[in-house]
C-alpha cells in the first residue's frame, strides 16, 4: 500500500487547529458580566498586565482594588493606547460591567487616561 504524504497546506491547517483548544479555553465569554449594572470607577493603577488574551489593570479605588479586564493588547495599541500609557501610579477612569460572581472584577467598555478616552469593545 502506498502512503501519500499530507500536503503542506494540510499540515499547516492541522497545526493551527491543534492550538485552537488552548486559545479557546483561555478566552472567557462576556455572559459572566452584568450589563444592567454599568459602573464608572476612578482610581490609581496598582499593577498592569499588557498580555493576551486581554490586558488587565488592578485599580485602587476608595472602596477596594478592582481587577479591570481591558481589551486585547493589539486592539488597544491600534486605538492609540499602548501598554506604556498604563503605568502603576497613574490615575484613570473606567466604565464597565461588574462580574456576576467576583465582586472585584469589572469588564471595561472604555478607559480614560489623562484626557484620552479609548473605547475597548
Domain that holds residue 50: 37-119
- pLDDT in the model for residue 9: 59
For the residues 75-99, what does the mean pLDDT come to? Answer: 97
Q: Does a structural domain hold residue 103?
A: yes
- pLDDT in the model for residue 75: 97
Q: In the predicted model, is pLDDT for residue 56 greater than 90?
A: yes
- pLDDT in the model for residue 8: 61
Q: In the predicted model, is pLDDT for residue 28 greater than 80?
A: no
- pLDDT in the model for residue 2: 53
Please report, for residues 38, 56, 58, 78, 93, the alpha-carbon distance to residue 83 in angstroms, rounded to integers and kept in the order given.
25, 10, 14, 11, 16
CATH classification at residue 44: 2.40.50.140
Q: Does a structural domain hold residue 78?
A: yes
Percent of the chain with pLDDT over 70: 76
- Domain total for the chain? 1
* Residue 11 parent element (H or E): helix 8-26
Predicted TM-score (pTM) of the model is 0.76
* Rounded Cα–Cα distance for residues 47 and 56 (Å): 8
- pLDDT in the model for residue 30: 75
Q: Does a structural domain hold residue 76?
A: yes
Q: What is the dihedral of CA 80, 61, 72, 112, to 10 degrees?
A: -20
Q: Does a structural domain hold residue 22?
A: no
Amino acid at each position: 500500500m502506498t502512503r501519500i504524504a499530507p500536503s503542506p497546506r494540510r499540515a499547516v491547517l492541522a497545526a493551527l487547529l491543534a492550538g485552537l483548544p488552548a486559545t479557546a479555553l483561555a478566552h472567557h465569554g462576556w455572559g459572566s458580566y452584568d450589563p444592567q449594572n454599568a459602573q464608572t470607577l476612578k482610581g490609581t493603577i496598582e499593577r498592569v498586565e499588557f498580555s493576551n488574551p486581554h490586558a488587565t489593570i488592578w485599580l485602587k479605588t476608595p472602596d477596594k482594588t478592582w481587577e479591570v479586564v481591558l481589551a486585547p493588547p493589539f486592539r488597544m495599541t491600534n486605538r492609540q493606547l499602548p501598554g506604556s500609557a498604563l503605568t502603576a501610579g497613574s490615575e484613570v477612569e473606567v466604565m464597565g460591567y461588574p462580574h456576576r460572581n467576583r465582586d472585584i472584577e469589572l469588564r471595561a467598555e472604555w478607559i480614560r487616561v489623562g484626557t484620552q478616552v479609548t473605547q475597548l469593545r
